[in-house]
Amino acid sequence: MVRQVKNLVEFNNILKEAGNKLVVVDFTATWCGPCQRIAPVYEVHAVKTKTTLNSFKRDLDDPDVSSSCGIRSMPTFQFYKNGQKLHEFSGADQATLLKKVEELR
């Protein structure tokens, strides 16, 4: 299941609590066509892998987390472990998303 991140405090707590479990964050917007196309892929994969990773999304129309993370385009996916960003990519590329999740888990 993909959870919505509400604010920067919650985002930082999520990263801290996850420890060495992979956290994937989808920075998205409701009005973004490519975001809406990749969302079902992200959500299905999140359900399949819920025991090995945490999946979250953040709407860019609420800028606190997105500006803190340096997001400039959508969709952008960021991957974290132990509170550190391991990788980031922008675009609705299903193959890249699934490959990175498998590599970093």
**Element containing residue 19 per DSSP (H, E):** none
CA distance 41 to 101: 12
Non-local (6+) Cβ contacts of 16 within 8 A are 83
CATH of the domain at 100: 3.40.30.10
> Do the Cβ atoms of 86 and 79 come closer than 8 Å?
yes
- The residues carrying an active-site annotation are 32, 35
Whether pLDDT at 61 is above 80: no
- For residue 36, the Cα-to-chain-centroid distance in whole angstroms is 14
> Do the Cβ atoms of 57 and 26 come closer than 8 Å?
yes
CA distance 84 to 19: 10
pLDDT in tens, 4-56: 888 899 999 999 999 999 999 999 998 999 999 999 999 888 888 775 567 78
State the residue for tokens 């973004």.
Answer: 32
Tokens of 17: 């609590």
Q: What pLDDT shows up at residue 48?
A: 81
**Structural domain count, the chain:** 1
pTM: 0.91
Domain range for 58: 2-104
